Amino acid sequence: MADGTQTPGDATRQAPAEKPEAAFREAVIDLGALTANVAHLRELVGTEHVMAVVKANAYGHGAVECARAALAGGADWLGVADLTEAVQLRDAGIEAPLLAWLHDPDADFAPAIEAGVDIGVSSIAQLDAVADARRALVAAGRLHGQALVQLKLETGLSRNGISEPEWAATFARARALEKSGDIVVRGIFSHVSNASPDDDAAAIDTYTRGLGVAAAAGLEPELRHLAASAAALSLPDARFNLVRLGIGIYGLSPFAGRSSADLGLRPVMTLRGRVAAVRRVQGGTGVSYDYTYRTSSETTLALVPLGYAEGIPRHASGRASVSIAGGTFRIAGRVAMDQFVVDVGDHDVQVGDEVVLFGDPATGVPSADDWAEAAGTINYEIVTRIGARVRRTYVGRR
């Protein structure tokens, strides 16, 4: 029999006005929700500047569309990891200030410099590479200003960033390059670990100390930022004059014990598809690879055409649930590359019915958090991993 409860959606909540007909595999992205989330978060944090982080294709939601929606909500900066991501936004006509911070050791900084992208710098070697690229552009007549950089400090995550013993030399080099007209140090930034209040307080102290050393070297950065979504919401001392908002703008909570609704956010992505096949089977029927699930009695099996090629976590096999025809049903057996099966019991499910894997739980469907719990991961991964075969459909544009 079906392993789950049959729960109709909340009829009091208004559905998106532009909801399209369900596709075979589809992520419906509510840009109106994203714009509203940014506006709400900006009001909560109250900083002078807000950076909307749209790296990794906007956490799987679509970078260009989400960048525009975030700017409409009041973000005045955009953030990405890679230079390629930054240049793609520029190529799409997005002119907002933009920071990229994680680079190949042999990165060519010239396209980003030419496009007016701020380059996150974590070493003297990177500073010199940026300056060299800028000089080459000037010599070729392709640039008449400085390269824009933001220095990243290592404050406890043990990732990229300038370590404290290297601060003095790196800041001195940055100041020399400012004086020579090669660069402008527009910001100094870092990240907290969210490991514990004491660890985050130590990171804030380290970062603040770094700002002091930079000032002593003659650097006067316009931007100072340490906090991503979690710290922006929970650590006022970490806000400085810019916060980087990532998972929160997509309507998902960065906290284990607080939901999106608790934070006043609306999930932006609804992942859905259509039932591809329905089969009536007898008790004892094995389902999917390895027969980790066998039906307990006569029942109906529905085939959902999304699998781990779409980013559906195999670890959620037998644990995650989906919504079909007003009911909620658990996955039966293994998630395969292209598909999985749910046991719907005697529920009336037909080929072509909409299947919602996750969306806004206020509508009665499973959430990305539910899927994260089922797969032993975090909501960030659930949405970011959704693959290219899933069509993105955008609704709620303003």
| 289 flagged as catalytic | yes
Burial environment of residue 91 by CB neighbours within 10 A (0 to 12, 13 to 18, 19 or more)? exposed
Q: Of 207, 289, 291, 308, which residue is the catalytic one?
A: 289
Same domain, residue pair 233 and 152: yes
Q: How many domains does the chain have?
A: 2
**β-bridge pairing 286-287 and 293-294:** antiparallel
pLDDT at 19: 52
Per-residue pLDDT of the chain (398 residues; tens, 9 = 90+): 444 433 333 322 333 445 556 689 999 999 999 999 999 999 999 999 999 999 999 999 999 999 999 999 999 999 999 999 999 999 999 999 999 999 999 999 999 999 999 999 999 999 999 999 999 999 999 999 999 999 999 999 999 999 999 999 999 999 999 999 999 999 999 999 988 999 999 999 999 999 999 999 999 999 999 999 999 999 999 999 999 999 999 999 999 989 999 999 999 999 999 999 999 999 999 999 999 999 999 999 999 999 999 999 999 999 999 999 999 999 999 999 999 999 999 999 999 999 999 999 999 999 999 999 999 999 999 999 999 999 999 999 87
Where does a domain end: 218, 251, 284?
251
Whether 51 has a binding-site annotation, put simply, is: no
> Is residue 40 assigned to a domain?
yes
> Is residue 53 assigned to a domain?
yes
CATH number of 354's domain: 2.40.37.10
**Cβ neighbours of residue 128 closer than 8 Å, sequence gap 6 or more:** 173
Query: CA-to-CA distance for 297 and 377, rounded, in angstroms?
Result: 33
pLDDT at 13: 30
Same domain, residue pair 69 and 161: yes
> Is residue 371 assigned to a domain?
yes
CA atoms lying within 13 Å on the CB side of residue 47: 31
Domain, as residue range, for 382: 276-395
CB neighbours (10 Å) of residue 56?
Answer: 18
Same domain, residue pair 217 and 286: no
243 dihedral zone (left: phi>0; alpha: psi -120 to 50; beta): beta
Whether 142 has a binding-site annotation, put simply, is: no
Type of residue found at 215: A
Cross-strand partners of 272: 26, 356
Same domain, residue pair 346 and 294: yes
**Cβ neighbours of residue 93 closer than 8 Å, sequence gap 6 or more:** none
> Is residue 268 assigned to a domain?
no
> Is residue 19 assigned to a domain?
no
DSSP 8-state assignment for residue 65: H
Same domain, residue pair 180 and 291: no
Contact indicator for 189, 150 with CB cutoff of 8 Å: yes
User: Which pTM does this prediction carry?
Assistant: 0.92
> Is residue 64 assigned to a domain?
yes
CATH number of 37's domain: 3.20.20.10
> Is residue 213 assigned to a domain?
yes
**Three-state SS at 54:** coil
Same domain, residue pair 244 and 285: no
Same domain, residue pair 51 and 180: yes
| 55 flagged as catalytic | yes
Q: Of 55, 59, 250, 394, which residue is the catalytic one?
A: 55
Same domain, residue pair 210 and 359: no
CA atoms lying within 13 Å on the CB side of residue 89: 35
CA atoms lying within 13 Å on the CB side of residue 141: 0
Query: CA-to-CA distance for 192 and 199, rounded, in angstroms?
Result: 8
User: Torsion over CA of 112, 116, 118 and 119, rounded to 10 degrees?
Assistant: 20
